[in-house]
């Protein structure tokens, strides 16, 4: 089946391409009676939208969402919630030179190999433009989670070699939107933004890491064996453009530890460690859910690169268009949205797991 749907009970289907008339989606399974805060949804879109930060692309999109169905007088009807975001600042001519050329590291060749055709205008549906629809769906899911006392937040924890200091518990997530890097550590804002501006001036790009935390998640969420909660979170995060890694709790650091070091336990001071990231056996344990998402450097850069055309002939590509030198500042709301979608789905699935 085509991979345009996420979720089993709370489901999001998205549609649209980067340079088409618009993008959008349908949320199905949202319970009736939920008050839908449109301003809150728009705030999430504004945080992701092109042109929303000076460190990102210069493409300007208002990204105003239109609700087409499923909501009346600000309340969900229990029917499918359809929405549309119209594209306004698409300059398809920037991509004319890419019609017969494959961009290194991009989905051009694989997409054409799968479908026999591709939309070269900004990457079509393989473009990160598609993630705006995820943010709308995630914003609706967030409002459902808030009704149950669940909060989700994320921040940029690393840009290149520049990392935040201390653990997430020592940082104030309320400060994330006070800086354009979208980090919760004020001590690294200047270094992170300086590195992004440096690689932009060089015509290059840089990767980074986002940490996401979900608080108030009740114990019992997750559907072993194949729909474990961390498995679904990992799949959701790896579906985001440019994501190349997912780690929950101690993640890859646990490789070098003994079981006695890595097991969760109550410390002498009475605090409980959370090395498992809030999930054990694929089921939430009631602790904070904490995971990291790694993003590669953006593939389309201004520097000349060797590649091939559709005939297999070598060419030198000098890419045009408007691209992020580092995607992580604009990816924070996307990571949050995908986490909200997964948690909302599992919250509703849990209601059918037991009689009482």
Domain ranges of the chain: 5-350
Evaluate whether 331 touches 338 at the Cβ level (below 8 Å): no
120: nearest Cα among 20, 242, 200, 13? 20
pLDDT score of 339: 98
Contact 185, 166 (CB under 8 A): yes
Determine what percent of the chain falls in helix, strand and coil, rounding each to the nearest 5: 35, 20, 45
DSSP, res 113 = H
pLDDT at 237: 98
Q: Are 209 and 157 in contact (CB under 8 A)?
A: yes
Q: Dihedral angle at the C-alpha atoms of 299, 237, 82, 42, nearest 10 degrees?
A: -80
Which residues lie across from 14 on neighbouring strands? 25
Using the Cα atoms of residue 266, residue 272, residue 276 and residue 278 in order, give the sign of their dihedral.
Answer: positive
pLDDT confidence of residue 113: 87
* Rounded CA separation 67/315 (Å): 45
Element of type H or E holding 93: none
Q: CB atoms < 10 A from the CB of 210, how many? A: 27
Task: Supply the pLDDT for residue 269.
Answer: 62
| Ramachandran class of 49: left when φ > 0, alpha when ψ lies in -120 to 50, beta otherwise | beta
pLDDT at 112: 87
Residue 334: helix, strand or coil by DSSP?
A: helix
Q: 180: Cβ–Cβ under 8 A, 6 or more apart, which residues?
A: 53, 54, 55, 193, 329
- pLDDT value of residue 66: 96
Residues 6 or more apart in contact with residue 30 via CB below 8 angstroms: 10, 70, 76, 78, 81, 140, 144
Look up the pTM and report it: 0.93
What is the assigned CATH class of domain 5-350? alpha beta
pLDDT in tens, the chain (356 residues): 679 999 999 999 999 988 888 999 999 999 999 999 999 999 999 999 876 666 756 556 678 999 999 999 999 999 999 999 998 865 555 666 677 888 888 888 888 888 898 887 767 788 888 999 999 999 999 999 999 999 999 999 999 999 999 899 999 999 999 999 999 999 999 999 999 999 999 999 999 999 999 999 999 999 999 999 999 999 999 999 999 999 999 999 999 999 988 988 766 666 678 899 999 999 999 999 999 999 999 888 888 888 888 888 888 887 765 678 999 999 999 999 999 999 999 999 999 998 88
Residue whose pair of structure tokens reads 């009704």 in the numeric block: 147
Which distant-in-sequence residues (6+ apart) come within 8 Å of 72 by Cβ? none
In Å, what is the CA distance from 322 to each residue of 154, 156, 194?
26, 22, 19
Tokens of 177: 């939107």
72 beta partners:
75
Query: The tokens of 316 are what?
Result: 């030198």
Nearest of 80, 81, 82, 88 to residue 64 by alpha carbon: 88
Of 10, 73, 74, give the one whose Cα is nearest residue 37. 74
């Amino acid at each position: 089946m085509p991979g345009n749907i996420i979720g089993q009970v709370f489901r999001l289907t998205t549609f649209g391409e980067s340079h088409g008339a618009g993008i959008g989606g349908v949320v199905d399974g949202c319970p009736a009676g939920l008050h839908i805060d449109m301003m809150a949804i728009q705030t999430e879109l504004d945080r992701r939208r092109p042109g929303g930060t000076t460190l990102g692309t210069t493409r300007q999109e208002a990204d105003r969402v239109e609700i087409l169905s499923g909501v009346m007088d600000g309340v969900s009807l229990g029917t499918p919630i359809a929405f549309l975001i119209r594209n306004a600042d698409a300059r398809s001519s920037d991509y004319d030179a890419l019609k017969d050329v494959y961009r290194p590291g991009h989905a051009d060749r694989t997409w054409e190999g799968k479908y026999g055709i591709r939309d070269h205008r900004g990457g079509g549906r393989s473009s990160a433009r598609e993630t705006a629809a995820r943010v709308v769906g995630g914003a609706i899911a967030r409002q459902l989670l808030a009704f149950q006392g669940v909060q989700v937040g994320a921040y940029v924890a690393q840009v290149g070699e520049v990392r935040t200091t201390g653990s997430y518990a020592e940082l104030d997530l309320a400060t994330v939107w006070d800086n354009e890097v979208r980090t919760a550590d004020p001590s690294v804002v200047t270094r992170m933004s300086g590195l992004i501006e440096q690689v932009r001036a060089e015509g290059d790009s840089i990767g980074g890491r986002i940490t996401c935390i979900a608080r108030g998640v009740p114990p019992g969420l997750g559907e072993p064996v194949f729909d474990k909660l961390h498995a679904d979170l990992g799949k959701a995060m790896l579906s985001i453009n440019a994501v190349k890694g997912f780690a929950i709790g101690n993640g890859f650091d646990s490789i070098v530890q003994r079981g006695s070091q890595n097991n969760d336990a109550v410390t002498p001071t009475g605090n409980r460690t959370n090395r498992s990231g809030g999930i054990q056996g694929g089921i939430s344990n009631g602790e904070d859910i904490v995971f990291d998402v790694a993003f590669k450097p953006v593939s389309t850069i201004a520097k000349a690169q060797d590649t091939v055309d559709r005939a297999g002939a070598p060419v030198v590509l000098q890419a045009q268009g408007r691209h992020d030198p580092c995607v992580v500042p604009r990816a924070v709301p996307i990571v949050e949205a995908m986490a909200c979608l997964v948690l909302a789905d599992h919250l509703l699935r849990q209601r059918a797991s037991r009689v009482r």
